Structure 1
Amino acid sequence: MSLIDPLIAFVSAHAWLAYFTIFLAALLEAAPVLGSIVPGSTIILALSALIPGGELQLIAVLAAAASGAVIGDGTAFWIGHRSKREILSAWPMSRYPGLIAQSETFFNRWGTLAVFFARFVPPVRAFVPITAGALAMPPLRFYAVNIPAILLWAPAHVLPGVLAVSALHEYGGLPHHTHIGKIVWIPTVIVIATIAGAATWWRHRRRGINVPVKTSSERTG
């Protein structure tokens, strides 16, 4: 606990920095190319573990994660929407022809639903919004699917950390400063069960799109 205590003390004194870090992690995770490198989900999950002890607030963490994802996805979409298909072959996208081809195949296969499912599938998540914009998906249709996906994605990344640490507080003897209330447990279990069921269904459906994607050099070779 000697290494954790200073972190908790720092976050308690600078909660705004933790919220900003969560916002930035969610935003950068949605950025093309960069989103496949930044461990945004890990950062969000780790900081969410500080909610049960009262260092961070659940609603504020969810809001920071969701707003970062909305801005990140929206920015990528509008870059693609304005630049059209040329952006998909421009640097730095041109360095990842396999992922670009996979994202385009993913989008062409699933259409509007690709925007929803991609939010839960790294590293495609970092490429589908810009691909959707480049392929002229209507903005209203994009946001109508993207925002509900984010509203599910944020709890799916935040609540597991809350549940795990709450269990340690409740049954493992881990001390805590404030009690988040049993009302959190019921929606937490429901959401996690829903996400787990959706993930299981998605893994079976996803098998149909995991085909090898050849780059242009492989096709000519």
Structure 2
Amino acid sequence: MHQLIEIYRELIKPEWIMAHGGLYVVMFIIFAETGLFVGFFLPGDSLLFVTGVIIANSLTKFGNVYVDLLYWISLITFAGVIGNIIGYWYGSKFGHILMKWPDSMLFKKKYIHQAHDFYEKKGGMAIFFARFLPIVRTFAPIVGGMVDMNYKKFVYYNILGCLAWVISMIMAGFLLGNITWVQKNLEVIVIGLVIVTTGPVLFKMFFGKKKATTEA
């Protein structure tokens, strides 16, 4: 757990990001979180917020900060869309094998069940809303593939959801990134963002089933 916390702390530091490949690293992490089931623990929301802060405060790649903003939003959105498509493909081809895997620290079948329940409640919009829910966004496309969701419908909600998620998170960081207080307290803000976005999901995953069992 301590090592995981340290990884989080490094990933959300603009200095670390810029020293290890720049925002292309963010692209890869967003792809991994949305396309590889082992990437469910990655802090996508926080990284997108930090990306906005970096764009607002870094030298421009194209000589215009708004062109930079459009460039990175486009690339990161593309990475997120492709990630979900790979997750869908994996679910459609190997979902039955995945459900036979034993639980481990990095994979638990209840994550799949959690995404499946969310998918059943929200229908096609599950793919859209899942973008804003840590852990669930990793497994929702896999479940979509497992239940043979219409591919065109999946791609539509995939693109729409990824655009909304990436734009809202990056723009929040971009608009607040020039505020001195935000710059000085960025780590605290990002940790708070992790707690706010991840906390409800983790609470439901770990305590929701116990509550349901008690009521039954």
TM-score tier by shorter-chain length is 0.5 to 0.7
Distance apart, 1:42 and its partner CA: 2.0
Partner of residue 115, structure 2: 103
The one of 35, 38, 55 equivalent to 1:51 is 55
Q: Which has the higher contact order (CA 8 A, sep 6+)?
A: 2
Q: 1:154 to 1:95 in 2, by over 3 A?
A: closer
Q: Point out the more displaced range, 148-157 or 88-97.
A: 88-97
Secondary structure of the residue that 1:136 maps to in structure 2?
A: coil
Tell me if the contact between 1:22 and 1:43 (Cα under 8 Å) persists in the aligned partners: yes
Q: 1:32 to 1:104 in 2, by over 3 A?
A: farther
The one of 25, 28, 44 equivalent to 2:29 is 25
Distance apart, 1:92 and its partner CA: 6.8
Summarize the alignment of residues 145-184 of structure 1 with structure 2, pairs less than 5 Å apart: 145-168=157-180
What is the number of equivalent residue pairs in this alignment? 171
Q: Deviations over 1:24-78 (max 9, x none)?
A: 1210111344232122332232232121234352112212220110111110111
Q: 1:91 to 1:59 in 2, by over 3 A?
A: farther
Tell me if the contact between 2:115 and 2:136 (Cα under 8 Å) persists in the aligned partners: yes
Distance in 1 between residues matched to 2:135 and 2:107, nearest whole Å: 15
RMSD of the alignment, in Å? 3.4
Aligned-residue sequence identity (percent) comes to: 22
Matched, 1:133 2:129: no
TM-score by length of 1: 0.65
Distance in 2 between residues matched to 1:212 and 1:117, nearest whole Å: 20
Distance in 2 between residues matched to 1:20 and 1:26, nearest whole Å: 10
The one of 75, 78, 94 equivalent to 1:67 is 78
Query: Where is the helix percentage greater, Structure 1 or Structure 2?
Result: 2
Q: Point out the more displaced range, 110-119 or 56-65.
A: 56-65
Q: Point out the more displaced range, 32-41 or 139-148.
A: 32-41
Q: Deviations over 1:124-164 (max 9, x none)?
A: 11111001101111211100111011111111110111111
Tell me if the contact between 1:36 and 1:126 (Cα under 8 Å) persists in the aligned partners: yes
Q: Where does structure 2 lack aligned partners over 5 or more consecutive residues?
A: 1-13, 61-67, 184-199
TM-score by length of 2: 0.67
Tell me if the contact between 1:25 and 1:41 (Cα under 8 Å) persists in the aligned partners: no
Secondary structure of the residue that 2:148 maps to in structure 1?
A: coil
Tell me if the contact between 1:85 and 1:135 (Cα under 8 Å) persists in the aligned partners: no
Partner of residue 7, structure 2: none
Distance in 2 between residues matched to 1:96 and 1:18, nearest whole Å: 32
Tell me if the contact between 1:48 and 1:158 (Cα under 8 Å) persists in the aligned partners: yes
Q: Where does structure 1 lack aligned partners over 5 or more consecutive residues?
A: 1-5, 175-202
Greater Cα radius of gyration, structure 1 or 2: 1
Which amino acid in 2 is paired with 1:67?
F
Q: 1:84 to 1:29 in 2, by over 3 A?
A: closer
Tell me if the contact between 1:29 and 1:35 (Cα under 8 Å) persists in the aligned partners: yes
Runs of 4+ in 1 over 6 A off after TM superposition: none
The one of 33, 37, 42 equivalent to 2:41 is 37
Q: Point out the more displaced range, 26-35 or 113-122.
A: 26-35
